Amino acid sequence: MAKRSVPLLKQLLSSSSAASPSCSSRFTSHRSVTYMPRPGDGTPRAVTLIPGDGIGPLVTGAVEQVMEAMHAPVYFERYDVHGDMPKVPQEVIDSIKKNKVCLKGGLATPMGGGVSSLNVQLRKQLDLYASLVNCFNLPGLPTRHDNVDIVVIRENTEGEYAGLEHEVVPGVVESLKVITKFCSERIAKYAFEYAYLNNRRKVTAVHKANIMKLADGLFLESCREVATKYPGIKYNEIIVDNCCMQLVSKPEQFDVMVTPNLYGNLVANTAAGIAGGTGVMPGGNVGADHAVFEQGASAGNVGNEKVTEQKKANPVALLLSSAMMLRHLQFPSFADRLETAVKGVISEGKHRTKDLGGSSTTQEVVDAVIAALD
């Protein structure tokens, strides 16, 4: 039996290895997906580009190079904004309102000092009320946690980030956390709609309503109401401290998570960390009319000077975010090509930046991605 099974074994192994070798040929050309564009769908679209501070210009430069190499039907209108400006320039806001879509690097937020973060300001001005981060294991990137595929949908405009602080008496400061039914309802609706449109099975609401009974209680109430309208999607709730512990011990239990502002920030960064790091997770902010794409988590983290000088920033997060942007603009085949190339480069493992354990520069990673495009 052993002699007869060896050739069979060899044939099965060769056919199975032929079916799944390296990622680049397994995902190759989705030519079997039939997509019938409308006439004129190939017209190039304008996208506002904000390079930002620190590693921002480096990684947005990477995106521009890759878009050029793919001949993608997008062109960028670049605007210089820096974190130390008092507010986002009006012309930039006008440009985003015109183009509806923006790609940005991070803006450095000074600590303390009463200057509000321009990242937050932009989200409020354009009412980008949902922030979405997709944290998933990338094949080839070793992490301590497998089976991670979490989408964190975070309310982006109120909560602890309302920015309403005042000093009652010297030495005593009050910071207002504001939760409204209007905002909670719309973020819950977005989360369930996202789950419906993307064939996700479960939505988990993250809260601390045992302590903040009224504020987080209102958030939960809104989530529960929306959940009744989607009977095909499971809904459960988890207290945020338990959530953080569950994330690091059994992340596979989470699917889509809907959270208020602060918890979302922490949960998204934790989820990004267990799945491979904030340098690789894509994300974006969306509102009823506009969308701004940036690095999934830690958009305010613009790297330290050493990384900026040595030009060793990780462009993967922004490249995958720009693939999300291409899908948002309805150019799915370009998005597929970009994601396939990036995932292929990561799984090969030859060109990785410092945060992934390698020592490549940004430009080396970009060149590898361009070479991997089909």
Residue in 199, 228, 306, 309 binding a copy of itself, rule: CB under 8 A: 199
Does 332 bind a copy of itself (CB under 8 A)? Our answer is yes
Contacts with a copy of itself, 41-60, as mask; x by CB under 8 A = xx------------------
Query: In this chain, which stretch among 40-48, 88-96, 168-176, 363-371 interacts with a copy of itself, using CB under 8 A?
Result: 40-48
Count of beta carbons in the 10 Å neighbourhood of residue 182: 10
DSSP 137: P
> What's the number of CA atoms in the CB half-sphere (13 Å) around residue 324?
24
Query: In this chain, which stretch among 115-123, 155-163, 197-205, 215-223 interacts with a copy of itself, using CB under 8 A?
Result: 197-205
Q: Is residue 134 classed as helix, strand or coil in its secondary structure?
A: strand
Shortest distance (Å) from residue 355 CB to a copy of itself: 20
Residue 234 dihedral angles phi and psi, to the nearest 5°: -75, 150
Calpha distance 149→129 (Å, rounded): 22
101: β partners: 291
Tokens of 229: 């309208």
Decide: 183 and 158 in contact? Cβ < 8 Å: yes
Residue in 175, 198, 242, 249 binding a copy of itself, rule: CB under 8 A: 198
Shortest distance (Å) from residue 200 CB to a copy of itself: 8
Query: In this chain, which stretch among 31-39, 57-65, 310-318, 351-359 interacts with a copy of itself, using CB under 8 A?
Result: 31-39
Distances (CA, A) of 144 to 245, 274, 326: 15, 7, 31
Beta carbons within 8 Å of 87's beta carbon, 6+ residues apart: 118, 121
Does 232 bind a copy of itself (CB under 8 A)? Our answer is yes
Query: In this chain, which stretch among 61-69, 328-336, 344-352, 363-371 interacts with a copy of itself, using CB under 8 A?
Result: 328-336
Does 337 bind a copy of itself (CB under 8 A)? Our answer is yes
Count of beta carbons in the 10 Å neighbourhood of residue 119: 20
Question: Which residues within the stretch 233-272 sit at the binding site for a copy of itself (CB under 8 A)?
Answer: none
Does 214 bind a copy of itself (CB under 8 A)? Our answer is no
DSSP 282: E
Calpha distance 107→211 (Å, rounded): 33
Decide: 278 and 321 in contact? Cβ < 8 Å: no
Shortest distance (Å) from residue 9 CB to a copy of itself: 6
Decide: 346 and 315 in contact? Cβ < 8 Å: no
Does 295 bind a copy of itself (CB under 8 A)? Our answer is no
Decide: 258 and 204 in contact? Cβ < 8 Å: yes
Does 14 bind a copy of itself (CB under 8 A)? Our answer is no
How many residues of this chain bind a copy of itself (CB under 8 A)? 63
Q: Distance between alpha carbon 247 and the CA centroid of its chain, in Å?
A: 18
Contacts with a copy of itself, 90-129, as mask; x by CB under 8 A = ----------------------------------------
Q: Which residues bind a copy of itself (CB under 8 A)?
A: 1-2, 5-6, 9, 12-13, 15-16, 19-20, 26, 29, 31-42, 71, 73, 130, 132, 134, 136, 149, 151, 186, 189-190, 193-194, 196-199, 232, 282, 284, 286-288, 291, 320, 323-324, 327-328, 330-334, 336-337, 339, 374
